A and B are shown apart, each in its own frame.
Chain A
Amino acid sequence: MQASPRAPASSSLPTPHIEVERLELYYGSVPAVRGVSFKVLPGEQLTLLGPSGCGKTTTLRAIAGLEQPTAGEIRIDGVPVYSSERGIHIRAEKRGLSMVFQSYAIWPHMTVFENVAYGLRVRRTGAAEIAEKVHHALDMVQMRSFASRRAAQLSGGQQQRVALARAFVFSPSVLLFDEPLSNLDAKLRADMRIELRELQHRLGITSVYVTHDLEEALAMSDRIVVMRDGLIEQTGTPDEIYRLPNSAFVADFVGAANLIRGRHRSDLDVDGLIALEESTGHIVYGMAYGRPVGAELVVSVRTVHLRISTEPPAAVQNVWRVPVEQTVFQGDFTQVHLGWGTQHLIARCAAMEPLAVGGEVYISVEPRHVVVLGA
């Protein structure tokens, strides 16, 4: 399940900024991370995505130096900061990284200014330089006018900005984010997502971002590592992860998808399309995107890619006439449950004429949107 579709970095690529190799971390006998390897390139924003308990936060904290792994190696700029073989474990404060915490961790006994200045004071920066850098950082997060406030008097969003300014003010080589937006309400989260992305581009800083929120991961990352049960499920760009999930888990976790199981009918394969026969005889054409195709197949169809029409569509492949079982109005879209063979398909359509439950409609999907999942 570890296989990443990406080829190993060729010599033309820059040296990775962070390298994690065969990382394992056990709490007693309970595994949290069971052998994870990935690289982060300079200036890249990499996201660790997965459900709670998948080991993403533990991996991040191991990079930070806040958790001591059980085995493996972590290198930053080619220098090992942790290596089980060589007995190296550099303390978090010596690694030159920075981190934004899920709880913000704004020190309540200090002002906003003092919070942000902390990392500079640790580095024995001069008073004038501290003032200049702190104000610059606060400007970047639009919090300058709050400099003399006590941290306890700030709202959640403001604390978030202060935490951010504090994290980058001393120009760390790497920024780590531990679900920084999860405590904000939905509207603010969407705004902060854009701001964070912009800031990251402006600073050009390498960052590793942990989240369980798909939209956040898709919007903010250069690359995504999907994790599950302490292992890497898939690594790729947001587009790859979304378009070409390589397992049922990724397909389902990364956005809603219909999974269809069946037998490979190689006799019906045509024009590079793979034909699948579902148990009631429906034939579905999909694409393998270079993945090996076995005798038993699972394909994924995103709910947004299923088209519903009352007239027969022009296409000849992947068209079925099916009964409408239920419709759920959800504002921006309507979720339609359709009977299809022995299973149900779910389609999400933009606002449309209400469909009569029990009536029949045509559904269709382009074969390029029917993705054969990896074994």
Chain B
Amino acid sequence: MQSARSLISAQKLAGYGVAAVAAVLVLYPVFFLLQAALDVGDPQVRPPTAYGFDNFNGIFQYPQILLNTLTVSVAATVMALVFGFVMAWILTRTNVPGRHLFEQLMAVPYYLTPLLGALAWSLLGSPESGFINQIWRALGGNGHLIDINTAYGIAWVMALFEGSVAFVMIAAVMKSMDPALEEASQIMGASRIRTMLRITLPLVVPGVLGAAIFVFAEMLGSFAAALVLGLPSRYYVITTAIYQLVQQYPPKIQIAAAMGVSLFAVMFFMLFLYRRIVMAGSYVTITGKAFRPRVADIGPLRYVLLGVCLLYLFAAVGLPLVTLLYASLQKIAVAFPAAENWTLENFRVAVTMNAVRSALANSLLLGFGTATIGVVLMGLLAWLIYRSRLPGSGLIEYIVMFPQAVPRLVFAFGLMWAWVAFPIPIYGTLWLLLLAYLTVFLPLGVRTIAGVMLQIDKSLEECAQMCGASWAFRVRTVTIPLLVPGLVAAWLLLFIASIRELGASILLMGPHSKVITPSIVESWFGTSSELTAALALIQTLVVAIAMILLIAVTRRVGAHPVD
């Protein structure tokens, strides 16, 4: 006979075990980050000899950095929202040709990464050698047409990529609006303009506001573009400043920690605000029902809008890729094209140079490791949070989603500080990177798997139980087979994210545990832009292959709907 008590022991013990692992992964570095931020004693001594808030006052020694951060974030948010809103409106509400294809292409900038964009736009727009400025001078212009190494240059590159995030969010709002709401207004006799002003706009405002706050929070924590474009002109934002303070000698760990804590406090508040707004605006958006939005016939204007779509994708995807491809095939990229300047040497070096090969191999290894361990860990967590009805699962969800609100660089800083002090010497090894990846990608993995898990009707599992199947048997025969497409998708997403990871890796990799993305940055500042372009393209190719597999998998899921 099975007693109520023995039920608790088996399943729940395993559940709490997994939850504990996740909690340690997340909370252990956060603890050390907070400790460093509050440490006002001798920086050479650990654990801290005195605690206080002086480090936070210390932040204000750097008013320029705060101002820079604000300038870049606001400018980038405004631009990204404009891109996102215009594209969302064009693609959901007008009959622009090929809008279904465009809608899918809008995800591409996001997967291309801001780093790639920053490298390409640096080649295009640096004041002296940038291609655009060279052409400008060749055409008789003076000085430079554009300068990418400024606040607005950084914001431009960030906005190009975050624009696709804004697009997804705003398009979702526009799609979830019942067209009957507008039609009702017209039936009552309101003109199109009046309908637009009185009905359409008020209905999308909460969604757009939500997107604005979300994008702004992301911008505050973004790192790659500010690093590549800001460092040459010594233009620092808070993330690059933290990086600089940690890397310089002697490092200013305490101030950096205080900056990190402040940044994630602000981001946390922003994301909290975002959730509030999204929930308050639920009277329009969150009906859970997808409507077919009313598509306006805009006549010949649609070819103009088609041009707008093409222009955005050109600036965000086409131009950067072509630029990098061109640069990677040149001996000296900044020279004007000449027959003898073409070469495959950069790619040869890229695949034969030891440092690069080991970085690429390490990244692939980490990608496989993170994805494989991650899918198991995050799958269990998703099951625990959304299916097990375990007491405390709400708290586990909060902990698991916590890294979402912390810039990866800041998180890595906490990790570094935590594991330097840890008795097991994993600092400077790939193991630490693996731990870091597993931690910072917790929200991504859990959310992806949970999305698939929640689609699976609970009664499918319960029915197996009613047929007499034990827990292990029904997990093996029902739960896992139904989850497989979702797990494969999560695996590929984690793999892609690991291969592209910069913020955490750049702080945590040791001299013998280099990975590809920080190596690209190192190569950019230390070697040649031509070689860097080749490296970036190789990385993009790996990601693209994984992407294509991902699309193939998700297509198959679509073909066999799980109801």
| A residues with CB within 8 A of B | 64-66, 68, 87-94, 96-99, 101-103, 105, 107-109, 118-119, 122-123, 152, 166-167, 170, 176
Contacts and interface: CB of A to CB of B under 8 A. Distances in A.
A184 to B, nearest CB: 15
A167 B468 CA distance: 11
Contacts of A166: 463, 467
B494 to A, nearest CB: 23
B464 A118 contact: yes
A90 B5 contact: no
A87 B3 contact: yes
Contacts of B470: 93
Nearest to A169: B467
Nearest to A121: B477
A88 B463 CA distance: 22
Contacts of A119: 467-468
A123 B468 CA distance: 8
Given A98-B467, A99-B466, A166-B467, A89 B2 contact: yes
Contacts of B561: 108, 152
Contacts of A97: 466
Given A97-B466, A122-B473, 7 more contacts: A64-B466, A89-B3, A93-B465, A98-B466, A107-B464, A122-B469, A176-B466
Contact of B468 (A96, A103, A108): A96
Contact of B465 (A88, A92, A167): A92
Contacts of A109: 481-482, 560
B459 interface: yes
B469 A107 contact: no
Nearest to B469: A122
B478 interface: yes
A105 B457 contact: yes
Contacts of A93: 465-470, 474
A166 B474 CA distance: 15
Contacts of A64: 466
The 9 closest A-B pairs by CB, nearest first: A119-B467, A105-B463, A105-B459, A89-B4, A99-B466, A101-B459, A92-B465, A122-B468, A109-B481
Interface residues of B, number: 28
Contacts of B467: 93, 98, 118-119, 122, 166, 170
Contacts of B460: 105, 107
A176 B465 CA distance: 13
A89 B465 contact: no
Contacts of A107: 460, 463-464, 478, 482
Contact of B462 (A94, A101, A123): A101
B431 to A, nearest CB: 37
Interface of B: 1-5, 7, 457, 459-460, 462-470, 473-474, 477-478, 481-482, 560-563
Contacts of B482: 107-109
A375 to B, nearest CB: 39
Nearest to A109: B481
A94 B478 CA distance: 18
Contacts of B5: 87
A91 B7 contact: yes
A118 B481 contact: no
A88 B477 CA distance: 28
B560 A92 contact: no
A88 B1 contact: yes
A107 B560 CA distance: 12
Contacts of B462: 66, 92, 99, 101, 105
A86 to B, nearest CB: 9
6 contacts: A87-B4, A99-B466, A101-B459, A105-B463, A107-B478, A119-B468
A170 B477 CA distance: 18
A93 B477 CA distance: 15
Nearest to B5: A87
Contacts of A68: 4
A115 B26 CA distance: 42
A320 B172 CA distance: 63
Contacts of B464: 107, 118
Contacts of B1: 88, 90
Given A88-B1, A89-B4, A105-B457, A152 B560 contact: yes
A147 to B, nearest CB: 18
A103 B5 CA distance: 31
A94 B465 CA distance: 9
B457 A103 contact: yes
A170 B468 contact: yes
Given A97-B466, A109-B482, A118-B467, A89 B459 contact: no
A66 B462 CA distance: 7
Contacts of B474: 93
Contacts of B469: 93, 118, 122
A94 B2 contact: yes
Nearest to A152: B560
Contacts of A176: 466
A127 B3 CA distance: 34
Given A97-B466, A103-B459, A123-B468, A108 B562 contact: yes
A64 B465 CA distance: 10
B2 A90 contact: yes
Nearest to A83: B4
B3 A88 contact: yes
Contacts of B466: 64, 66, 92-93, 97-99, 167, 176
B560 A108 contact: yes
A91 B457 contact: no
A198 to B, nearest CB: 23
A119 B5 CA distance: 27
A92 B1 CA distance: 13
Nearest to A167: B466
Contacts of A105: 457, 459-460, 462-463
B463 A99 contact: yes
A108 B2 contact: no
A105 B457 CA distance: 7
Contacts of A98: 466-467
A109 B474 CA distance: 13
Contacts of B465: 65-66, 91-93
A107 B464 CA distance: 9
A182 to B, nearest CB: 13
B392 to A, nearest CB: 14
A90 B474 CA distance: 17
Interface centre among B5, B463, B482, B563, by most chain A C-beta atoms within 10 angstroms, is B463
A152 B558 CA distance: 12
A119 B561 CA distance: 24
Contacts of A91: 2, 7, 465
Nearest to A104: B459
Contacts of A123: 468
Interface centre among A65, A93, A98, A102, by most chain B C-beta atoms within 10 angstroms, is A93
A209 B473 CA distance: 28
Contacts of A89: 2-4, 7
A98 B465 CA distance: 9
Contacts of B459: 101-103, 105
Nearest to A99: B466
A370 to B, nearest CB: 44
Contacts of B473: 122
Nearest to B480: A109
B452 to A, nearest CB: 13
Given A97-B466, A101-B462, A166-B467, A88 B560 contact: no
Contact of A88 (B4, B468, B562, B563): B4
B14 to A, nearest CB: 16
A109 B462 CA distance: 16
Contacts of A118: 464, 467, 469, 477
B463 A101 contact: yes
A102 B462 CA distance: 12
A90 B465 CA distance: 12
A68 B3 CA distance: 12
A210 B461 CA distance: 20
Interface centre among B7, B460, B481, B560, by most chain A C-beta atoms within 10 angstroms, is B460
Contacts of B3: 87-89
